[in-house]
């Protein structure tokens, strides 16, 4: 995770969307002579010209890998939620458990199919939760002690 501090000179194309993990904000901004388009943050954070933020990028210099930020103007911390992936993981475990209790010869193949699909979904959710934890840890190093 790479922290980058910028001052937002101009904001454009702000759109709020609802996706599976929750509300998301899509936006673009200009800082100095650079423009960044198609960025996305979880929730509905305040995005205004004149704000100074420390952004957490998953890849160095790649604003499309934006994970969250600390707004130095308001103190607002925007970060991915760990609740979404953990909730989905719990659902995978419940579905897997319910399939386990009704095994017949005919359902054996379905059980293995659900197990494979569940494992793939759970792996994906755990990877997202791991990325969220890394972003939160990087943000916690940036947030000044009160």
pLDDT at residue 105 greater than cutoff 80: no
**Separation CA 6–CA 4 (nearest Å):** 7
Number of domains in the chain: 1
Q: Is residue 107 part of a domain?
A: no
Range of the domain at 6: 2-79
Q: Is residue 69 part of a domain?
A: yes
Q: Is residue 36 part of a domain?
A: yes
pLDDT in tens, 106-132: 455 656 666 767 777 777 777 777 777
Q: Is residue 137 part of a domain?
A: no
Number of Cβ atoms within 10 Å of the Cβ of 68: 24
pTM attached to this predicted model: 0.57
Q: Is residue 93 part of a domain?
A: no
Q: Is residue 105 part of a domain?
A: no
Per the CB < 8 A criterion, the answer to whether 58 and 67 are in contact is yes
- Could you tell me which residues come within 8 angstroms of residue 146 by beta carbon, excluding any fewer than 6 positions away? none
Dig out the tokens for 56 from the structure: 């957490």
Higher-pLDDT residue of 90, 114 = 114
Number of Cβ atoms within 10 Å of the Cβ of 138: 21
Q: Is residue 17 part of a domain?
A: yes
């Amino acid at each position: 995770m790479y922290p980058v501090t910028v001052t937002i000179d101009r904001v454009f194309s702000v759109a709020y969307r609802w996706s599976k993990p929750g509300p998301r904000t899509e936006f673009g901004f200009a800082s100095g002579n650079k423009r960044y388009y198609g960025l996305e943050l979880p929730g509905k954070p305040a995005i205004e010209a004149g704000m100074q933020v420390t952004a957490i990028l998953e890849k160095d210099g790649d604003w499309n890998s934006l994970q969250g930020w600390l707004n130095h103007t308001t103190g607002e911390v925007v970060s991915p939620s760990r609740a979404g992936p953990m909730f989905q993981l719990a659902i995978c475990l419940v579905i897997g458990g319910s399939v386990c209790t009704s095994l017949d010869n005919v359902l054996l193949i379905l059980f293995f199919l659900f197990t494979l699909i569940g494992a793939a979904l759970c792996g994906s959710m755990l990877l997202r939760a791991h990325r969220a934890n890394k972003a939160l840890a990087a943000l916690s190093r940036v947030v000044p002690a009160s």
